Structure 1
Amino acid sequence: MHGNWRDGNHFELLPEASRFLPAMFEAIEQARASILIELYLMESGRLATALIDALVSSAQRGVTVLLLLDGYGAMGLSRHDRERLQEGGVALRFFNPLGLHSLTRNLTRDHRKLVVVDGRVAFTGGFGAVDEFLDAWYEVAVRIQGPVVADWVRLFCRLWDSPLTRGRGPASLVRGLSTAAHAESGYRGMRGRAIWGQGYRYQAIRHSLHDRVASARQRIWICTPYFAPTFSLRLRLARAARRGVEVRLLLPGKRHDHPGVRYAGQRFYGRLLKAGVHIHEFQPTFIHAKFSLVDDWVSLGSCNFDHWSLHWNLEANQEVSDRRFAGEVALLFEQHFADSHEIEPREWSRRPLLQRLKEWLFGTLDGMLTRLR
């Protein structure tokens, strides 16, 4: 599922929390009518406290504030913080709280990240309201203005009213926001679309990437923190490299919040390297960002190209087709490649037995998860 391509937008790349967090807080503080926020991770701490303060302040000056959190990803948000939000006038809902129903339903999570203010400006990326984003994890976001913002509003509103969403909040008002989103237009030359997916049922993000990879002419650069790609994506990347396209993967190094996922993905390194794919492991910190660059096309948002995201999660990305924006993303990639360790084929072929054992073990577990329905 995806929105239509729309012209007349403006997209601003915001790498690192030191840029996107101040921009989001400034937009929240300047809100006049509505604030819509959808997050997977929100845990009590410094960042969550600052966000709660800003949202309550906005609600108390008459702004409609709707906060939609994943029922599992927000388990670290204390009762005190939940009460502060509700008592402060924030409408709070949770997507798919864990329950005694089917395993597959519990595995379905809302992994999207979205902030929309007044229907005029939106932010998406891989961010969350947990303290790791302040300094321990590297992340990237995009600031969105123009007609495409209305598609993000509609996406939020559909999930807010979903049967899987529980909590308090004005459903009738949300429907009004959905139809009355007044996104600004008139920006020159920046084309984009919102694109989303819902587990194995709707995989528009995956199919869009596959199409771009298959038709790439010059470069395919992908950054993802959880690299356990499907066979079809691995095949397309290898084919692209063999026909002369520069294929580079920017992946986390040893600093990782889920080392098992890293090992599961590393079992594919050998064949990709043999095909001519370049693999770079980021060294300074854990890189949590998810963005892709194929020629002059960019996709940036919540989606990791691992089995979990593609089979279970609700995801959403912003796609941009613009040469200038692609150039900014390419420059960011090049900076990160310089801060990474590139895996050499000969070096990888001599990796120790323990490393190979971990790849097999976690790869087997990853394969088992993909067969759950």
Structure 2
Amino acid sequence: MAGAWRDANHFQLLPEAARFLPAMFEAVGAARETLLIELYLMESGRLTTMVIEALLEAVSRGVAVRLMLDGYGGMGLSTADRRRLEEGGVTLRWFNPLGLHSLARNLTRDHRKLVVVDGRVAFTGGFGAVDDFLEAWYEVAVRIEGPVVADWEHLFVSLWNSPVTRGGKGDARSSGPLPGVSPSVVGGMRGRVVWGQGYRYQAIRLSLHRRVDAAHRRIWMCTPYFVPTLSLRRRLARAARRGVDVRLLLPGDDHDHPGVRYAGQRFYGRLLRAGVRIFEFQPSFIHAKFSLVDDWVSLGSCNFDHWSLQWNLEANQEVDDADFATDVAALFERNFAASHEVRHDDWARRPRLQRFKEWLFGTLDGMLTRLR
């Protein structure tokens, strides 16, 4: 599903933890009324300790803090840290805790990443509260102001108050703009929220497909888990053949799930033959998920794999603004320069072991798609 396109927003691109973590902590430190936080990954460690301290400090100022974690992704949060949050006044809820019900239901996870402060400022991207985001993983976020923040807040509130969450008592309600704040005049950028939930809601995928089909100049995509559907592969190939600059920014050897990488690499050959350029990022594992089609940007939690497209709850911020697209394009260019470009002739000569891994993990991926 998708929210309405809204004008008069301001979006700030925040590449790398050195930029988005300080910005988020600053916003949390300035909260006066409400903090709504939704994360997939949260596990005890240095970053989580910093987050807990910031949330408890907010509670001490009278801020109502709501923290929603995925029932699987949050399993690394220690009992001591859970107790510290709850005893400190943070209301903690869990999305779809694992249980002895159907496998398909256990596979449905809340993969969104969201921070909303006082209904005025929001952040989304691919971040989580695990120490890998401090140094080891490359990530990107966006800071959001303006009317579209209310849509992010509504998305959080709807899930918080739904029967699939368990935990602390108390509903979450939209705070609305604070007195004296006019979120309709913060900037001149156009944007909307899009979200998905498996095969029931495919707005993120369908929106991307429409943009790819209509692209004139460029289609640049970054995703850490690239196992694209046949429909998307065909669209990318067709765009490249009609002269659109199609590039994929993907992880290199440094990957947290190498099997997913091999499963996606089985599609390299046909894409390269069609003229798609593929870049594998070298400095670290690139966990970011963002796309640029002409002057349209989509950035958020959604990967191009079966987990995101079949089971997960996902949400992205779409921006239709030339200035913001220029910032995103510059980020892509820096990352392309730090990547190894996979050439068709070299790929055709890859070793047999590499081909076997592609076949093996591709077969497992195919089995996975039939579990729904």
1:66 and 1:169 in contact (8 A); partners too: no
One-letter code of the match for 1:292?
S
Residue type of the alignment partner of 1:185: S
Partner amino acid, structure 2, of 1:237:
L
- Distance, in Å, in 2 between the alignment partners of 1:83 and 1:148 is 34
Matches within 5 A, 1:55-66: 55-66=55-66
Structure 1 position 287 matched with structure 2 position 286: yes
> How far apart in 2 are the matches of 1:205 and 1:335?
26
Determine helix, strand or coil for the equivalent of 2:185: coil
Query: In 2, distance between residues paired with 1:200 and 1:257?
Result: 26
CA distance in structure 2 between the aligned counterparts of 1:169 and 1:153, rounded to whole angstroms: 19
Note the C-alpha offset of 1:282: 0.2
Distance 1:186 1:164 in 2: 36
C-alpha separation in 2, matches of 1:237 and 1:161? 39
1:361 corresponds to 2:369: no
Residue 142 of structure 2 aligns with which residue? 142
1:253 is aligned to 252
Letter in 1 for 2:215: A
Contact preservation (8 Å) 1:112, 1:302: yes
| Cα offset, 1:200, TM superposition | 1.2
Q: In structure 2, what is the Cα distance between the partners aligned to 1:114 and 1:169?
A: 21
Q: Distance in 1 between matches of 2:33 and 2:335?
A: 39
SS in 2 for 1:185: helix
Q: Which residue is 1:196 aligned to? A: 195
Cα deviation digits, residues 175-213 of structure 1 (max 9, x gap):
3x26x3557121342000011000111110000000000
Q: Which runs of 5+ in 1 are unaligned?
A: none
Once residues 366 and 188 of structure 1 are traced to their aligned partners in structure 2, the CA distance between those partners, rounded to angstroms, is: 43
What CA distance in whole angstroms lies between the structure 2 residues aligned with 1:346 and 1:105? 43
Measure the CA separation in 1 of the matches of 2:204 and 2:70: 20
The 2-side partners of 1:39 and 1:367 are apart by: 28
Helix, strand or coil for the counterpart of 2:69? strand
CA distance in 2, matches of 1:87, 1:57: 13
List per-residue Cα deviations over 1:1-22 (Å, max 9, x = no partner). Answer: 0100000000000000000000
The residue number in structure 2 matching 1:70 is 70
Cα distance in 1 between the residues matched to 2:264 and 2:351? 16
Letter in 1 for 2:317: Q
Q: Judge conservation of contact 2:278–2:342 (CA < 8 Å) in 1.
A: yes
Unaligned segments of structure 2, at least 5 residues: none
SS at match of 1:4: coil
| Structure 2 letter corresponding to 1:321 | D
| 2:120 alignment counterpart | 120
Q: What is the Cα-based RMSD across aligned positions, in Å?
A: 0.8
Letter in 2 for 1:342: E
Letter in 1 for 2:69: L
CA distance in structure 2 between the partners assigned to 1:323 and 1:110 by the alignment: 31
Spell out the pairing of 1:271-286 with structure 2 (5 A cutoff): 271-286=270-285
Q: Secondary structure at the match of 1:169?
A: coil
Whether contact under 8 Å (2:44, 2:81) holds in the other structure is yes
Work out whether 1:170 is the aligned partner of 2:170: yes
> Number of matched residues?
369
- Structure 1 residues 260-269 or 180-189, which shifts more? 180-189
Does structure 2 retain, via aligned residues, the 8 Å contact 1:153–1:181?
A: no
Tell me if the contact between 2:177 and 2:183 (Cα under 8 Å) persists in the aligned partners: no
Secondary structure of 2:212's match? helix
CA deviations 1:319-350 (Å, max 9, x no partner) are: 00000000000000000000000000000000
